Amino acid sequence: MATLQKIRSKGPLLVIVIGVALFAFIAEEAMRSIQSASNESRQQVGEIYGKKLSVHEFQNMVDEYAEIIRFTNGNASLNDAQMTQLRDQVWNTYVNSKLIEHEAEKLGLTVTDAELRAIVVAGNNPLLAQTPFRNEKTGRFDVTVLDKFLTDHKEMQNNASQMPNEYLEYVNGLYRYWLFIEKSLRQECLAQKYQVLLSQALISNKICNTATFNDRTNEYNVHMAALPYSTVNDVDIKVDDSELKAKYEEMKERFKQTVESRDIKYITVQVKASAADKAALDKDMNETAQALAAGGDIAKIVRESGSVIAYSELPVSKNIFPHDIASQLDSMTTGQMKAPYYYAADNTMNIIKLLNKVSAPDSIQLRQIQVAGADVEAAKKTADSIMTALNNGTPFDSIAKKYNQTGEKLWITSRNYEGTTMDAENMKYIKTVTNMPVNAIEKIDFSQGCVIAQVTDRRAMIDKYDVAVVKCPVEFSKETYSKAYNDFSQFIASNPTLKDLEANSLKNGYNVQERKDLYSSEHYVGGITNTRDAMRWIFNEDTEKGTVSPLYECGDNDRMLVVVLTGIHEAGYRPWEDVKDLLTQEVIKDKKAQMLTEQMATAKSIADVMKVKGAVSDTIKHITFSASAFVMKTGASEPMLSAVASMTERGKFSGPFKGNNAVYALQVIGKNKSAEKFDAKSEESVEEMNNMRAASRFINDLYENAEVTDNRYLFF
């Protein structure tokens, strides 16, 4: 009882302790949930119509596009600039397709399999022309070739274990390529359907067609007089804020932006080679030139020189080399060497030695059978049997089918292999097939099996060059970079504010630059590569105006950058203060127009206008309502002049009226009609094209309504 009484006496304390513990448990779970949601949000590349796109999903789409490019162009890898361009293309395609799909779903628009098949059978779409499924005779897309491939691919999947891995990889890559084309065709067809639907909502009629024809063919000759705005000095015009605000409301829609932008000022430093660095490179290049002149292992000499162009044992066409190299090869003789020279366009020192020049085909057509076995010896034994059968007249196709291969003819061009890094076996393969005569059959042994190849055609014999090229960039040393870094970092530390940077930059050899309206989708700051960290800092919600960034190392490891955030412009309407300069110019123009209109108010003729100080005159011919007249004397395109001329009777005086660069008056001195004849069907077609162009601009409106968020700058 005493124990129970003791517990009861501590009851309130126990309740508090249990409550605190329970709250701590709930709070911990809440924090975990918040942290998990925060981590998830940080992994979102973007959002459209409330649907988030993760970085993983986006990267998968980029990888798909990259594989297609590598498959079609034969590129082993894409450089940074190409990948940036590719990501932009993937993002734009994704956003546009989602915009269309969202609207199409509401309208019930779809693309059926039958419609897609009809497009493929017709074979007229430009996407199909890019595929390898072409008729050998016509060179055009052939649906029967595609259907045969799809059938063969399905059979190959059932017998994959019997197929060489290299061949399977190629065929599966070609199949993925077709799936990509098929998806693209479906997206394109859906977009066209939606655009056509919109264009049909804009219906032309005979009255409109006739009016459009007359606007284009009725021509007017006018005698014009003008009082240019330049005749009034800007300083004589007074503008107050109330007038600017009123003009802002009038022009407000011009100041709407769909995404946030930011203003910055920045200093960038590009590190360049010092005199000592250049002298060291000159010494190395002279030693390399002596080694090349003496002969020896050319590949080793070029490799050890640090050249950015590797030596190829395979003669190559000149167009794979930079311009300064390619332009010299034709005039060089075998054995000739060009001593070290400087080429300013790419800041390199260069040596060229031509070892040999041969005539070789730019394109070869071949077919092949890949032979595998339980081991290398088994594969060679099978290959020997195949060679015997071929030499005895057995058709190539029938043997290929026996080994579950198509034996189809493929074209290989110089661009498929020149300029790429090849191992010994690939080099052996290319050397063999490029030197084979037409219809010859060769067995090519590899470490893991054999390939039996037959060249069926050779085309475009061109000069190819066995040439050693040493191209070495004039680069700075570590010591030079360290000095530049230390100098710049010390300057930043001594000038911690924008005011300090601007006051002391020039005297220290630096230059403060400005960029207004930088968007996160631009990827680069000041056109400098590898400035992703700087972009993240600029667009970070915690970065305040006036803040100086850390020092960033960027570019091709040759640049340094410091940034100051000077302005933030959120999506929506820009405040009137942001566009004050533009508003001021517009208000000044309005006031000048009012002043000059008053000076011209009593004029009854062109002669009267010319009595006003500063007036200019000219005769302008062939003015039409459908095109803005260009006035040479005022240097401006003036749509009002075209409109007033079309409404003024011949011989009549009209004015004053406000234009872009002046206040005008005119007298129509002639009217005529062009020789073009009215054709109802032709005019209807013109109107339909105009309607289609108008409908094509729908994507901008859809974008504004989709609440698109683009966070790619956080990841790429």
Q: Which candidate, 272, 263, 261, 262, places its Cα nearest to that of 560?
A: 272
Those residues whose C-beta lies under 8 Å from the C-beta of residue 47, and which sit 6 or more positions away, are: 53, 707, 708, 709
List the structure tokens of 263.
């203003």
| Confidence (pLDDT) at 6 | 44
| Confidence (pLDDT) at 300 | 93
Cα(344)–Cα(20) distance, rounded to whole angstroms? 74
Cα(554)–Cα(532) distance, rounded to whole angstroms? 9
Q: Are 66 and 687 in contact (CB under 8 A)?
A: no
500: region left, alpha or beta (phi > 0 left; psi from -120 to 50 alpha): alpha
Those residues whose C-beta lies under 8 Å from the C-beta of residue 440, and which sit 6 or more positions away, are: 454, 455
| Confidence (pLDDT) at 229 | 96
> How confident is the model over 285-294, as a mean pLDDT?
93
Rounded to 5 degrees, φ, ψ at 612 are -80, 135
| Domain at 261-271+477-570, CATH class | alpha beta
| Confidence (pLDDT) at 156 | 81
Report the share of the chain in percent with pLDDT over 70.
93
**Above 50 in pLDDT, residue 498?**
yes
| Confidence (pLDDT) at 339 | 86
Cα(599)–Cα(356) distance, rounded to whole angstroms? 82
| Confidence (pLDDT) at 37 | 42
Cα(104)–Cα(99) distance, rounded to whole angstroms? 9
Cα(540)–Cα(711) distance, rounded to whole angstroms? 11
The CATH code that applies to domain 277-473 is: 3.10.50.40
| Confidence (pLDDT) at 445 | 85
> How confident is the model over 501-515, as a mean pLDDT?
96
Q: Do domains 217-256+578-673 and 261-271+477-570 have the same CATH topology?
A: yes
10 Å CB burial of residue 379 (0-12, 13-18, 19+) is buried
pLDDT in tens, 612-627: 999 999 999 999 998 9
pLDDT in tens, 701-715: 888 889 899 999 988
pLDDT, greater one: 36 or 155 = 155
> How confident is the model over 474-499, as a mean pLDDT?
96
Q: Which fold has domain 217-256+578-673?
A: Chitinase A; domain 3 (3.10.50)
pLDDT in tens, 9-49: 545 544 454 555 555 555 454 444 444 444 455 679 999 99
| Confidence (pLDDT) at 492 | 97
Q: Where are the domains of the chain?
A: 2-41, 51-200, 217-256+578-673, 261-271+477-570, 277-473
pLDDT in tens, 193-214: 998 888 777 777 888 888 888 8
| Confidence (pLDDT) at 435 | 86
> How confident is the model over 123-127, as a mean pLDDT?
92
